[in-house]
Structure 1
Amino acid sequence: MRIEKLKQDRVNEFLSYCKKHKMELDDSFLYEEDLQNFEPNDENPTHILTNQQGIIVGAVSLMIDDYSKRGKKARFRIFHSEMDNIECYTRMMEAILKHTEGLEKVYLFVPFTNIKLVEFMEGLKFEVERYSFVLVREELEVPAFRLPPGYDIRPFHSGSDEETWCEVRNAGFAKLQGSETPITPEMVQKMMTSEDHIEGGSMILYHQNRAVGVIRGSDDEYENSPIMNIGPIAILPEYQGQGLGRSLLRASLQFAKEKSYSKTILCVNADNERAKALYIQEGFEQVEAVTCYKYELSEE
């Protein structure tokens, strides 16, 4: 086996490898739209493992954008080998760690069903950070909702609501493991102009003229069929526990129905028990479970 830094002339082979194995992995960043502009660079350090014939049999790639740097943690886009051998993963890990200066940890999500990868993570001294669940709601009637007096839901307006979105999202997620790092207006602008954006799918909940909640519905795919992805859902801490999240969720579900989506999907941290209970009550069912594994980096 040979480990080498991915060069431009082999990017298409790397992308083919990602697409070939994405169903075995957390495929959050392995969709066509995620890979179409992929470039191996400082933000996407990538190494490939090749056999004696020069064929790619393993790949490791980190995502180190500005958000990652501010949070001092980077997520794996892919960490996979066709060879069921801990030595292959060890060599790829050694190569990718050379790109982690300034970071405190790297992490990835592993489906419960990928037993082999779970074993390799434990063998490489990764630790469980948290668990996350994927929930899907089939086409069902959307219960009516009524906002308290003084509240209303308004569509997100590009060019004026980016700062507002950040304030609500960052306050609502300040203590949510994995999402503590604040986002910026520039990140919101990019999100609202991405290919998965649905006009009108991003909404802001106001109490009088104060923004207190946000929710986003975006175009996605699940089991080769279109589906609307719901998230983030955030409510200011002082407004939580009043049923406002349920109202926002139902507003998003109603929007999905109006846009002819037969299913909706969302993710929730296992430790966010109240949120998961709400989603189950609203007709969602758990379809997948993943473990977030972290690798703490030494200060040396």
Structure 2
Amino acid sequence: MKVEYLGPGRVSDFVAYCKKHKVDLDDSFLYDDQLANFQPNEDNPTYIITNQVGDIIASASLIINDYHRRGRKARFRIFHSEEDNIESYNLLMQEMIKQTTGLDEVFLFVPFANEKLAKFMEQLKFTAERYTFLLIRGDEVVPDFIVPEGYEIRPYRFGVDEEAWCTVRNAGFANLKGSETPHTLDMVAKMMANNDHIEGASLILYHKDRPVGVIRGVVDDYEDEPIMNIGPIAIMPEYQGKGLGRILLRYLLHFAKQISYDRTILCVNAENERAKALYIQEGFKQVEGVTCYTFQL
């Protein structure tokens, strides 16, 4: 086996490897459009292991953008080996650690069903930090709702509402594991300009002109069928417990049906029991789960 930094001449082979194995992995950053213009660089350090005939048999790639640097942690895009032993993972980790100067940890999500990869994570001294569940809602009727007096739901306005969005999102997620790092105005603007953006599906809840809640739906697919992915859903801490998250959720579910999305999907941390209970009450059903494994550098 030979481990090497991914060169420009092998990017297409790396992309093909990712597509081949994404069904067994957390594919959050392995979609075709995300890999279409992929290039290894300081934000995307990537290593491959090849066999005697030069075929890729293992690969690791980190995401170390500005958001991750501010949070001092990097996320694996892919960490996978076709070899059923720990050797490939050890070789990849030795190289990846060299790319993590200034960071405190690296992490990745492993589906519950991938017991083999979970076993290797434990052997590599990764720690199971938290669990996240994937929930799907089918074509059930969406209950009605009433926006309380003094409140108003408005669509996000590009170039105007970035600060309002950041204020709510950052306050609402300040203590949520994995989301503690604040978003910036620039991050929000780029997010809203992504190809997955749905006009009218990014919403801000106001109370007497004060932004107090946000919710967003984006283009996604699940099992090769179109679906609206919902997230984030955030409410200012002092406004939580008033049923406002439920109102925002129902508003967006009605909107999804209006634009022909029969199914919606979202993720929730296991420790966020109140949010998960809300989603179950609103017709979502758990279909998958993943473990977030972290490695302290």
Q: TM-score normalised by the shorter chain: which range applies?
A: over 0.9
Match of 2:160? 160
Between the aligned partners of 1:34 and 1:285, the Cα distance in structure 2 is 28
C-alpha distance in structure 1 between counterparts of 2:257 and 2:143, whole Å: 12
> How far, CA to CA, are the matches of 2:284 and 2:57 in structure 1?
38
Cα distance between partner residues in 2 of 1:143 and 1:36: 40
Q: Over residues 194-234 of structure 1, what are the superposed CA-to-partner deviations in whole Å (9 max), with x where a residue is unaligned?
A: 01000001000000110000000000000000000000000
1:92-131, CA deviations, whole angstroms, 9 ceiling, x for partnerless residues?
1111110000000000000010010000000000001100
Tell me which residue corresponds to 1:122: 122
Distance 1:151 1:8 in 2: 53
- Whole-angstrom distance in 2 between the partners of 1:37 and 1:181: 26
Measured in 1, the distance between the counterparts of 2:36 and 2:196 equals 14
Mapped partners of 1:111, 1:278: distance in 2: 23
Provide the rounded CA distance (Å) in 1 between the counterparts of 2:96 and 2:138.
40
- Residue 164 (structure 1) shift: 0.7
The reply to whether residue 274 of structure 1 matches residue 248 of structure 2 is no
Q: Which residue of 2 aligns with 1:59?
A: 59
Q: Pairwise mapping of residues 3-82 of structure 1 onto structure 2 (< 5 A)?
A: 3-82=3-82
User: In the aligned structure 1, how far is the partner of 2:87 from the partner of 2:278?
Assistant: 43
> Secondary structure of the residue that 1:206 maps to in structure 2?
strand
Partner of 1:296: 296
Q: Distance in 1 between matches of 2:242 and 2:120?
A: 44
List aligned pairs for 1:141-152, cutoff 5 A.
141-152=141-152
Kindly report which structure 2 residues correspond to 1:81-100, keeping only aligned pairs within 5 A, or say none: 81-100=81-100
Does 2:286 correspond to 1:286?
yes
Tell me the secondary structure at the aligned position of residue 260 of structure 1. Answer: coil
- Give me the CA root mean square deviation: 0.4
Which secondary structure state, in structure 1, belongs to the residue aligned with residue 29 of structure 2? coil
Summarize the alignment of residues 152-191 of structure 1 with structure 2, pairs less than 5 Å apart: 152-191=152-191
Distance in 1 of aligned mates of 2:36 and 2:139: 31
The amino acid that maps onto 1:276 is K
Structure 1: state its 5+ residue gaps.
none
Task: Note the C-alpha offset of 1:29.
Answer: 0.3
* Aligned 1:123-138 pairs, distance under 5 A: 123-138=123-138
The equivalent of 1:240 in structure 2 is 240
SS in 1 for 2:295: strand
Give the Cα–Cα distance (whole angstroms) in 2 for the partners of residues 206 and 159 of structure 1.
18
Q: Which amino acid aligns with 1:77?
A: R
TM-score by length of 1: 0.99
SS at match of 2:75: strand
Task: Name the TM-score, length of structure 2 as normaliser.
Answer: 1.00
